[in-house]
Structure 1
């Protein structure tokens, strides 16, 4: 599904998107979900995650601030979403930085069927078994184009790697997303928010490469619009939310502004 069609459906249906996300970026993730037109809920207690996941239209799992209880909650929520046919999106934040942050996404991927996986080049490289440098939660190296192809083949799902150019691969198609702005890399949580937007579009359009690429292009275009009047990262973040909201309110206005190109598989 293209981005304009998905955003129109989101505006009509107001789907609930359940996030098990990290406490560093939870506010931005919630607001990005709301600005896109969906309804966010943040619930990570093992006592309620299955019940909450069962009522949602999509589940987004983010491994940014892990502990043992949260991991068990992710497993419970993911399995319940799978039972009900609800799309599940993974953001493997920090994969490759420590053993725990690398082994946890691997466990999640072995126990939950994910509709899409979205991370930076280093994180996706780690999941693909490729060498990359991840420092904390930041990617210092990694070839995004190679990583998504390897990871999509290994994981059997749609994989996106964000960077100066975002790449999305489902094993059959490889798409390059060229919307975005450098200021997006200067605020904490832009990657988490972009995955939240992927979850919003997955709630109404599934997780094929075109839908995931459209979500990232829409998010990147919002970054371009926000940067137009921003004085720096401090004024950029609220303008990003304004831009997401304005673009979602006028989906037809996206026509000709999203830069998504199909590129050859290696």
Structure 2
């Protein structure tokens, strides 16, 4: 069984909602990323999205864009580095599902066959490609299923009549976008968010998760009753940004990790 399916089954039995942090691999460096992954698991994360730094991140707001810039500065962090990070995490004892978040061009340049042959052996359970529309994802979806890697789609309140088609082809869970526009901390969500989530729920038997803009325990709690997972990205990446100097120094890294861990534990409640 795919680890994502197993995690959701366990959480459903326990009556809990998954917390899924997003981080950018290589921010502020690869060794720090490995330590952050371990800290996130220890602090209660149920799965982790590993973001591949990209020079033109269309779905990402300024906080995550800066994280990509930091990761690409100096020794460039590549797609291969991000895949290998999952393997390093597994070797260090990380057991929760790891989901790779990447844009399509790096995968295409890497080579689809090579990409899927590699990720199925490196501890990656899910894949999110936000700029790959359902109308063009058949080859990727087929190869992902053969590799037992769940291709997780994004649906937005503006998806409307496409919600059912997207949801029916989903694997793992359906990622519901809470707000229009790019990622980033928000105080308000789309006005029809609850009816949108109900529409997605009717369209699939899979778990549904919500992300984009969620940054506090109150916001996590607001969606716990209607979603199976809550994804938190920019708020955690901002914590990493604020702890950058601590993380880059071996003598103070633990202090930086503790700051990040306390924030994530607070999201869990």
Both proteins in one fold, TM over 0.5: no
Query: What interval of TM-score do these two structures reach, taking the shorter chain for normalisation?
Result: 0.3 to 0.5
The TM-score, its normalising length taken from structure 1, stands at 0.43
